[in-house]
Structure 1
Amino acid sequence: MEGTAMVEPSLRRLQYFIALAEHGKFQSAADAMHISQPALSAELRRLEEFVGRPLFRRSPSTRLTPAGHALLPQARAAVGAAGRFNDIAAEVASGAPRTVSVGTVATFLHRGLPEAITDFTADRPDMLVTTREATSADQFELLLGHEIDVACGHMPVQHPDVVCTPAARESFWLCLPSELRGLSLAEAAERPFVIFRRSASPVYHDTVVGLCRSHGFEPRIRHQTTSWAAAVEMVAHGLGIALVPTPIARSSRGDERLAFDRIDSGPNAPQAWVTTRGEDQSGPIGDLSMAIVVASEASAGGSEVSAE
Structure 2
Amino acid sequence: MATSAAAAALSRVELRHLRYFLALAEELHFGRAAQRLAMSQPPLSVALQQLEAAVGARLLDRDSKGVRLTPAGESFRTSAQALLGRFEDACAQAREVQAGEVGRLRLGFVGSTLFHGLPDWLQAFQASHPRVEVVVIELNSQDQIQALLQEELDLALLHTDRLPPALACEALYDEPFLACLPETHAAAAKRRVALASLSDQPFILFSRRGSPDYHARIVEMCRQQGFYPRLQHEGRHWLSVVSLVARGLGVSIVPAAFREAGIQGAVFKPLAETMERSRVFAAWRQDSAPALREAFLAARRGG
TM-score bracket, normalised by the shorter chain, equals 0.5 to 0.7
The one-letter amino acid of 1:289's match is L
Report the aligned-residue RMSD.
3.0
Change (3 A) 1:266 1:109: same
Is contact 2:140-2:236 (8 Å) kept?
no
Q: Distance in 2 between matches of 1:191 and 1:223?
A: 12
Q: How far did 1:236 drift?
A: 1.5
TM-score (norm 2): 0.58
Gaps spanning 5+ residues in structure 1: where?
Answer: 1-87, 296-308
Q: Distance in 2 between matches of 1:265 and 1:98?
A: 47
Q: Distance in 2 between matches of 1:165 and 1:200?
A: 21
Give the aligned partner of residue 276 of structure 1. 284
Q: Distance in 2 between matches of 1:251 and 1:287?
A: 28
Q: How far did 1:174 drift?
A: 0.5
Is contact 1:175-1:258 (8 Å) kept?
yes
Give the aligned partner of residue 118 of structure 1. 123
Change (3 A) 1:265 1:146: farther
The one-letter amino acid of 1:102's match is L
Matched, 1:139 2:149: no
Give the aligned partner of residue 11 of structure 1. none
2:158 to 121, 144, 153: 153
Matched, 1:286 2:286: no
Is contact 2:176-2:256 (8 Å) kept?
yes
Q: Distance in 1 between matches of 2:278 and 2:266?
A: 24
Is contact 1:210-1:268 (8 Å) kept?
no
Give the aligned partner of residue 213 of structure 1. 223
The equivalences for 1:6-17 within 5 A come to: none
TM-score (norm 1): 0.57
Moved over 4 A (4+): 264-267, 278-282
The equivalences for 1:1-308 within 5 A come to: 98-156=103-161, 157-159=163-165, 162-180=167-185, 181=188, 182=190, 183-252=193-262, 255=264, 257-263=265-271, 268-278=276-286, 282-292=290-300, 294=301
Higher Cα Rg, which structure: 2
Over residues 206-254 of structure 1, what are the superposed CA-to-partner deviations in whole Å (9 max), with x where a residue is unaligned? Answer: 12211211222111111222122222122212111111111112323x7
Q: How many residues align?
A: 200
Change (3 A) 1:199 1:145: closer
Gaps spanning 5+ residues in structure 2: where?
Answer: 1-92
Q: Distance in 1 between matches of 2:230 and 2:150?
A: 40
Is contact 1:207-1:270 (8 Å) kept?
no
Change (3 A) 1:193 1:138: closer
Change (3 A) 1:226 1:128: same
Change (3 A) 1:231 1:278: closer
The one-letter amino acid of 2:120's match is E
Over residues 44-64 of structure 1, what are the superposed CA-to-partner deviations in whole Å (9 max), with x where a residue is unaligned? Answer: xxxxxxxxxxxxxxxxxxxxx
SS in 1 for 2:130: coil
Q: Distance in 2 between matches of 1:234 and 1:145?
A: 32
Is contact 1:143-1:151 (8 Å) kept?
yes
Change (3 A) 1:224 1:147: closer
Is contact 2:199-2:227 (8 Å) kept?
yes
Q: How far did 1:172 drift?
A: 0.6
Q: Distance in 1 between matches of 2:250 and 2:258?
A: 17
Change (3 A) 1:234 1:128: same
Change (3 A) 1:145 1:227: closer
Q: Distance in 1 between matches of 2:144 and 2:266?
A: 32
Change (3 A) 1:100 1:264: farther
SS in 1 for 2:293: helix
